[in-house]
Each structure stands twice: as structure tokens, then as C-alpha cells.
Amino acid sequence: MELPASGSDSIVKKKKSPAKNIPVEKSSQKPEAQCFVEKLPNEILVTIFTYLKPKELLYGAGLVCKRWHELATDAESWQKAIYCLWDDLRVWRHAPVIGHLEILAPNEIEVEKVRQLALSPNPTSVRSMRIILRHPKDSLSILRKYDKTLRMLDLQVAGQDAQPDEWKEFFDTIGSLAELRSLSVRISPNSSDIPYNKQISAGCHSLRSLRVRGQETIASAIVRDLGSVVSSLTVTCSFNETSVHLIQSLSACSSVEDITIPCSMIGAISRLSSLKYLKVIADHGPLNLSEAIEAAKPTIQKIERLEVCTSRNQIAPSLTINQLIAGFAPYLKKCKTADLRGLHSLDEYLSEFINEAEKVQQYYLCCRVYHLLHLEQMPAVTTVHAVLDSQGMYVPYVMRAVNRLKKHPKKKFSVFFHCLNV
């Protein structure tokens, strides 16, 4: 069989037809896209730029939008910007104001960055700061630079080898933060030689919120000093019912209206005379549950909001916290809102709480559909925000009940489905 010559017309090559329905970008669309970028609000551009790497931020941002240099000098648009100190230090010259600053300096190289930032002209203002340092003296320069603008401070200091005069200077510097509204303190050294002489309350007259962690002796001294100043206090799960010094310091908290406290320390709230909002962190619970409930009863009768949450650091048995909250229910005479999303959704104690807490009007909870039907029958309940197990989406009875409750003429039911793994 002879093959045709290369120039023969007997072999016809099929031409590929152009694909249909594929949009083709026109040259006229490019100016429109550029105009769209030019019209973006400053807040959106700042949000985009905070995700860029330092090199992209320094050398590529000008290619994205011509307004970058104007934006870099606009203090208002930087209020929500968040940066970490381990980023390239050249970034700071573009940021006259930073909303939140993260400083983690576990070694001398990172501490040197803190010193450079303290000496740099920008940013001139920082409103919120989180600092983790190994020595109290490493934070002095950066705190003094922003003593007129800093409003929220989360401070964690090791300082195993710090001297008493260095601790004194450290607390004096915190006390110079005149605009500070919220303070979270964790002092790690387990030593009773750390001097504290009420330096924070002497200068921080605007302080409203306090969170204590770490070493009990210094935490107790700070709570005793600021208890008559702050209205919100958080005691983390690093403490328990054996933290005698901290429990005694709660007697000085005459201004505290909002407290977050571990379940094991619940009996200590009897020392709080002005408490209105109680948030309980689930842990192993007190040794004698009935005694703790009896001690807390006078204070429980005055609270207006109850909330239950879980700890990020430890897995607590659900039975203890359920028994505790159910034991509170008969004494909630003024409580209008109960956020029970920290309770186990299949436990019978949730039904007991709903039945006993007759004054509660608003609920936030994870539950089953029969809990919702129970809440429907409670005359005081007006609003329910509930999360149901997503398995219920495939049960006709559950869906009919949920759809009916959402259309309730007198009560508001907001129901969502989520995998609860229960």
C-alpha cells in the first residue's frame, strides 16, 4: 500500500473549532478593574495588606494601588491593623498607628527588636498589645513609648532571675499607663519576694477589666489592689479552691460586677457584694459541691446573667458542672439570661435547670428538640437561641417541631444545626 505524498490533499487536517461560551477578557475591562481598586475603602485595603508578607508589603503594594502612600499616612485606617514583632522591622515605617501589636521575645534577638521598635519613630500609637517576655526589664522601653495611647495590655513575664528593684520599676511602668482600660497579667516565678505596693491602681484610673494568671501571691496582691477599681474580673483555671490567698483577696472586690471564675472556686463568689454577671469555667469542681452551692446562694440570688464555658487548657468532667448549674437554678431570682452552651446537651440536668429556673427569659444552649418543647411551655421564656445536633435534620419529627417553633406567635426561637458529637 502506497502512502500519499506529503503535499497530497488526500490527508485533510481537521481544524479545532474555538470553544464556545468561554468568556474573553476585553481590553476595555482592565481600566474598569483598576478603577474598582481605586474605589476600595481604606479599611478593606488595610485588611488585605495585613495578609501580605513584608517584602510584598514594601515592594508590591505600590503596584496594587496608587493610593498606598496616602493610605500609609492615614492613621484612622490603621486602627484595626494587627502586626507581630517578628515581621520585618521595615514594615513599621508604613504604620503610623497600629491597632494591635504582638510581641513574643523569648531570646535576645527578639528582645533587640523590641528595643529597635521603642527607638523608631513609627508607629506613634498602639492601642492594644500582647507581650510575652522572659524578663520584666525587657518590656519597660516599649511600655513607656505608648504610655499615652495603650488601652489594652496582655502581659506575660517569666523573670526567674529578676531583682526586687527591677520588679518595682516594672510595676511602676504599668502604673504609668493612664489610658489603660483592660489588663491581663501572668507573672510566672513561684516566689513570694516579688514586691508590689499598689503601683497599678495609683496611676491606672481608667482601668475597668482585670485578668489574673500565674503565681498566686502576686495575683492576689493585684486583685486586692484593683478590686475596688475594676468592674470585670477573670480568674483563670490556673487557680482552684486551694488558692486561699486569692480567695481572701476577693473580699476587696467591691466594684466587681462581672466575674469569670473556675467551677472549683464557686463558693468564693459569696465575697462579692456587687456581682451581676457570673461566668463559670468548667473544671473538676469543688470537693464538696453542696457546701459550695450553699455558700454561693446569697450571691446567686442577685445575679442577672449566668454563663457556662469550657476551658481551653483542660478537659473537665461534664457531670460536675451540670450538677452545679442545676443546683443554682432554684436560687436564680433575678437572672434574665442563661448562656448554657457549655453544658452537655444530652444530660438530664439541663431539663432540671429549665424546670427550676422560672425567672429566666432568654436562653443560649446546645440541646435536643425536647428541650425546645420544654422551653415553649415555660411562661417566662421569650427568646431561645439553640443549636441542635445536625443528625436531627434527617428526622421529620424534629424538622416539623423546629419549623413550628420558628413561627411561634409570642416567643422567638432561633435554631441552628451543627454536629455536636453527642
For the stretch 324-346, pLDDT in tens is 999 999 999 999 999 998 886 56
Mean pLDDT of 368-394: 92
Alpha carbon of residue 291 to chain centroid? 32
Residue 283 backbone phi and psi in degrees, to 5: -145, -160
pLDDT in the model for residue 66: 54
More confident residue, 351 or 58: 351
11-57: pLDDT as tens digits: 444 555 554 444 444 444 444 444 455 565 666 666 666 655 555 55
300-315: pLDDT as tens digits: 999 999 999 887 766 6
205-239: pLDDT as tens digits: 999 999 998 888 899 999 999 999 999 999 988 88
C-alpha cell at position 319: 457531670
Whole-prediction pTM: 0.79
More confident residue, 299 or 79: 299
CA 392 to CA 384: how far, in whole Å?
Answer: 18
Q: Are 206 and 179 spatial neighbours (Cβ–Cβ below 8 Å)?
A: yes
pLDDT in the model for residue 28: 45
β-bridge pairing 362-367 and 337-339: parallel
CA 206 to CA 379: how far, in whole Å?
Answer: 42
pLDDT of 391 strictly over 50: yes
In the predicted model, what is the mean pLDDT of the chain? 81
pLDDT of 411 strictly over 60: yes
More confident residue, 49 or 277: 277
58-80: pLDDT as tens digits: 445 554 555 555 555 566 656 66
- Give the residue extent of every domain in the chain: 231-360, 365-422
* DSSP type of residue 263: G
Distances (CA, A) of 31 to 24, 38, 64, 70, 346: 16, 10, 13, 21, 59
pLDDT of 374 strictly over 90: yes
